[in-house]
Amino acid sequence: MLDPDSGLSLTIARIVQRLQGSSLHSQLERQARVSLHKPEIKLESLKEDIKDFLKTSGWEKKLQNAVYSELNVFPSPCHPAAPPEHMKEPLAYMRKAQGSWEKRILKSLNSMCTELSIPLAQKRPASEQKELLNKWNEMGTDEPDLSLFRPVYAPKDFLEVLMNLRNPNYENGEQPSFRNHLGLIQVPLKVKDIPELKEDFSELGLNTGQLGIDDSAQVPPEFFENEHVRVGQKVLAEQDSAAAQQYVRQGCPTALRADLWALILNISNQPEDILYYEQLKSNVIQYDLLVDSLIYKDVKLTASNDDYYFVFEDYLYQVLLCFSRDTSVLDHFTYSSATPPKSYIRGKLGIEEYAVFYPPNGVIPFHGFSMYVAPLCFLYHEPSKLYQIFREMYVRFFFRLHSISSHPSGIVSLCLLFETLLQTHLPQLFYHLREIGAQPLRISFKWMVRAFSGYLATDQLLLLWDRILGYNSLEVLAVPQR
């Protein structure tokens, strides 16, 4: 493995490189230059004085939050000898399985294209552009004919692929033995057992107060709730990402949740972020993608039919259509096992200068994708902030739920963790379900792929997502009971 010293310097170099071109960097420079006018900055101790000034004015904290965010999102650097695909996914047979799964999706999309004779992407005529701009805030009232479109895949198709995942170097004998797992997942990934989970998720223990349980009507608020809210307000005042992440492990008070999540995800909604969102919006107006119809269909099938989320239909279009055109999402493919689909401009097949990614963000939505956005609509009402929160949640967590990888938060590990815990904790239930031909994973898989969105009441769902953010891990999704 990587030497601790060289690992640290590699991490530092990577973070510096990523932050160097960012708007935070230019803001810090500007602040430093402005501070030169201040009387307390002396020429003899220029460096120290500017550092002190940045600390007292809160800019050092912003930098700390940015560094913390980078550490959370990017995995630790690989060995220098490792090729880039190793960072995406270290196991060769999983890379291969992900590649064949992606090929299936591409074939499905291509065949839909040819059947319907619709191009994957084209520029909108000017009249259509004007029309769309006018009804940008009420795209839900549109009733396009989507009967010929079908979702590219549904979670159950993905489950079939995961069930057939095998390590060619593993003794997958036909005879039942300790090597064959009793559940559906047959790959020997390392998953945590109960003692390890208890240690890692110690704040969820019975002796620690939790929102959602210890703030119910029967419990007097002096015991836990009041103090917890007070601490939350203090954390927000300090604007410290790391403290916020620790705090939400016990749940977020509803009034503070939006700000706390924005702090943890390091979203500040600066003018340049709003401008970026407006640029994405103009991309939506200008170009028409086939993926848009898939998004429309998905929203109509899932979120619009949901009692809690149908009111947010218009928001969902505004977020998801822009998401498809956001090239900054391509960055996450360095640490995701997936690869963005490629294509060529019409008539220029094979010429590399005309190679493009399709869709521009490289993510093809599946049935239920819009449910990742829907719960966030309860927290954020400004479209550009809602968009940024969703995008950050996707590149940190949600992408792992629909790609094949050996990562501990990847869907394969979550499924195996769920099955192992169920076997250990409730063996009779597990055995009974197997006997009647209802493998438990078949029931719970779609809950985990959607991160329980649409399957739990919203207040409970948001408490669950508090823990995902707090522990920076999706493992809480797999634990059958708390």
CB nearer to other proteins: give 130 or 179. Answer: 179
CB proximity list for 367: less than 8 A, separation 6 or greater? 151, 152, 153, 154, 155, 298, 301, 302
Closest approach, Cβ 168 to other proteins, in A, equals 8
CB proximity list for 104: less than 8 A, separation 6 or greater? 153
CB nearer to other proteins: give 98 or 302. Answer: 98
Closest approach, Cβ 175 to other proteins, in A, equals 13
What is the rounded distance in angstroms from the CA atom of residue 212 to the CA atom of residue 224?
11
CB nearer to other proteins: give 282 or 304. Answer: 282
Closest approach, Cβ 324 to other proteins, in A, equals 10
Residue 409 near residue 347 (C-beta atoms within 8 A): no
Closest approach, Cβ 374 to other proteins, in A, equals 26
Closest approach, Cβ 309 to other proteins, in A, equals 29
CB nearer to other proteins: give 74 or 357. Answer: 357
Q: Which two tokens stand for residue 17?
A: 């490189």
Distances (CA, A) of 416 to 59, 169, 202: 43, 19, 22
What is the rounded distance in angstroms from the CA atom of residue 236 to the CA atom of residue 243?
9
What is the rounded distance in angstroms from the CA atom of residue 58 to the CA atom of residue 375?
32
Which candidate, 401, 424, 422, places its Cα nearest to that of 413? 401
Q: Which two tokens stand for residue 438?
A: 């209802």
CB proximity list for 53: less than 8 A, separation 6 or greater? 31, 32, 35, 38, 40, 41
Closest approach, Cβ 170 to other proteins, in A, equals 6
What is the rounded distance in angstroms from the CA atom of residue 93 to the CA atom of residue 172?
14
CA 405 to centroid of chain Cα atoms: 15
CB nearer to other proteins: give 195 or 437. Answer: 195
Q: Which two tokens stand for residue 478?
A: 């797999």
Which candidate, 325, 240, 331, places its Cα nearest to that of 21? 331
Closest approach, Cβ 293 to other proteins, in A, equals 15
Residue 140 near residue 317 (C-beta atoms within 8 A): yes
CB proximity list for 197: less than 8 A, separation 6 or greater? 475, 479
Closest approach, Cβ 204 to other proteins, in A, equals 24
CB nearer to other proteins: give 219 or 275. Answer: 275
Closest approach, Cβ 300 to other proteins, in A, equals 24
CB nearer to other proteins: give 256 or 329. Answer: 329
CB nearer to other proteins: give 287 or 310. Answer: 287
Closest approach, Cβ 51 to other proteins, in A, equals 14
Residues of this chain that interact with other proteins (CB under 8 A) are 1-3, 17-18, 20-22, 25-26, 29, 43-44, 46, 78-83, 86, 90-92, 103, 106-107, 109-110, 113-114, 119-123, 167-171, 179, 187-190, 276, 279, 283, 287, 325-328, 341-346, 349, 353-354, 356-358, 360, 406
What is the rounded distance in angstroms from the CA atom of residue 472 to the CA atom of residue 73?
9
CB nearer to other proteins: give 18 or 61. Answer: 18
CB nearer to other proteins: give 325 or 332. Answer: 325
- Give the angle subtended at the CA of 480 by the CAs of 474 and 482, to the nearest 5°: 85
